[in-house]
Amino acid sequence: MNVLITGGAGYIGSHAAQRLLRDGHTVAVVDNLSRGHRAAVAALQDGANGGRLAYAEADIADRAAVEGLITAHGITVVMHFAAFASVGESAQDPLLYYRNNVSGMIALLEACAATGIERFVFSSSCSTYGQPPEHLIPTPEDCPQAPISPYGMTKLHGEHLLGHYAERCRAAGRPFAFAALRYFNVAGADRGGRLGEDHDPETHLIPVVLQAALGRRERVAILGTDYPTPDGTCVRDYIHVEDLVDAHVAVMQALRPSDARAYNLGIGKGYSVREIIDAARAVTARPFEVVEAARRPGDPPRLYADPARIEREIGWRASVTDLHTIIASAYAWFRDHPTGYGA
């Protein structure tokens, strides 16, 4: 297939591009490098294997650039990863998130309409669920979507945009299928060592803990130790980035005309903050300071996926569920790239 990957110089997008190239697909990456990395594109070019890679440094809001890329490379499928994805930042600057995540997606769908794109795989989020009630954990896809952050709201708007656009296509007799993939926590790195996670600032727990283990941070703060969980800390679902990418490829291949699908992507169980810290200490064999701090507003005690629907309908399930294995892949990347893609 010929696939356009938006945000393909970022963490998840680059891993998706690498997988598709290894499978022999033609991949066109568009990224404005505001959060992505030119070195990630270079790593993709070095390891393209049987696939063919094209790259355009452009914003998804630039319709002419996107339409030109789609037309030049005969694109038939879009995987859309280009979004800002920090809950805290979205609360501080909601307009930035609406401009990039919502307005950018509108422009992208306009480009899809102009070029006849028939399949669309959307990077959504469990943040669209907000704080699911306790009886809906593990969380299924029919859990009410009630975001509590601007980030989560922009992802829900993205799902709504796709739904409305698909309805218009059906009414006009045009084939268009989409899937919204709601991620829980994504972690780990390419086990071949080419690609990894490089955010500035870094807010995700596993990279933060590993940076402390490598001496790049003074300490790790546990935000809340009095939650109603076995060890008092928050419990989350961590899916390995390569498993996440496998799910995207499986969904892309399974989409049929007029499909409108939604799937939760996770391993179906949770690990606590203390379990993450203990596993990181075991994997790295390095000491680091841990301090206890107050809860962060809006953090639910437990949040993990019920991935039964995607396994039932497509046959996908996560293959990497051992916490030590997930952390070891991330640690290898951070150890060998101490300044990320700047190394």
Q: Is residue 115 part of a domain?
A: yes
Domain with residue 279: its CATH number is 3.90.25.10
Q: Are residues 111 and 228 in the same domain?
A: no
Cα–Cα distance, 341 to 343 (Å, whole number): 5
Considering its fold, how many domains does the chain have in total? 2
Q: Is residue 197 part of a domain?
A: no
Cα–Cα distance, 35 to 201 (Å, whole number): 10
Q: Is residue 195 part of a domain?
A: no
106: how many CB neighbours lie within 10 A of its CB? 16
Q: Are residues 96 and 222 in the same domain?
A: no
Distances (CA, A) of 288 to 134, 219, 220, 272, 280: 33, 6, 8, 18, 10
Q: Is 304 one of the annotated active-site residues of the chain?
A: no
Q: Are residues 36 and 162 in the same domain?
A: yes
Q: Are residues 149 and 223 in the same domain?
A: no
N-term to C-term CA, the chain: 33
* Contact between 210 and 289 (Cβ < 8 Å): no
Q: Are residues 256 and 289 in the same domain?
A: no
Q: Is residue 86 part of a domain?
A: yes
Give Cβ neighbours of residue 210 (< 8 Å, ≥ 6 apart): 280, 284, 327, 330, 331, 334
Q: Residue 185 CA to chain centroid, in angstroms? A: 8
Q: Are residues 228 and 159 in the same domain?
A: no
Q: What is the pLDDT of residue 49?
A: 67
Q: What is the pLDDT of residue 298?
A: 83
Q: Are residues 283 and 245 in the same domain?
A: no
Within the chain, which residues score under 70 in pLDDT?
47-49, 343
Cα–Cα distance, 309 to 317 (Å, whole number): 10
The angle at the Cα of 125, spanning 40 to 283, to the nearest 5 degrees, equals 60
Q: What is the pLDDT of residue 83?
A: 97
Q: What is the pLDDT of residue 50?
A: 74
Q: Is residue 104 part of a domain?
A: yes
Q: Are residues 253 and 274 in the same domain?
A: no
Q: Which of 55, 97, 151, 331 is catalytic?
A: 151
297: how many CB neighbours lie within 10 A of its CB? 8
Q: Are residues 218 and 158 in the same domain?
A: no
Q: Is residue 123 part of a domain?
A: yes
Q: Is residue 333 part of a domain?
A: yes
Q: What is the pLDDT of residue 343?
A: 56
Q: Are residues 95 and 225 in the same domain?
A: no
Domain with residue 142: its CATH number is 3.40.50.720
Q: Are residues 44 and 75 in the same domain?
A: yes
Beta strands in 143-274 (DSSP E): 177-183, 185-187, 219-223, 235-236, 238-240, 260-265, 271-272
Cα–Cα distance, 300 to 129 (Å, whole number): 11
17: containing domain: 2-184+240-265
Q: Is residue 194 part of a domain?
A: no
Q: Are residues 256 and 121 in the same domain?
A: yes
pTM, two decimals, is 0.96
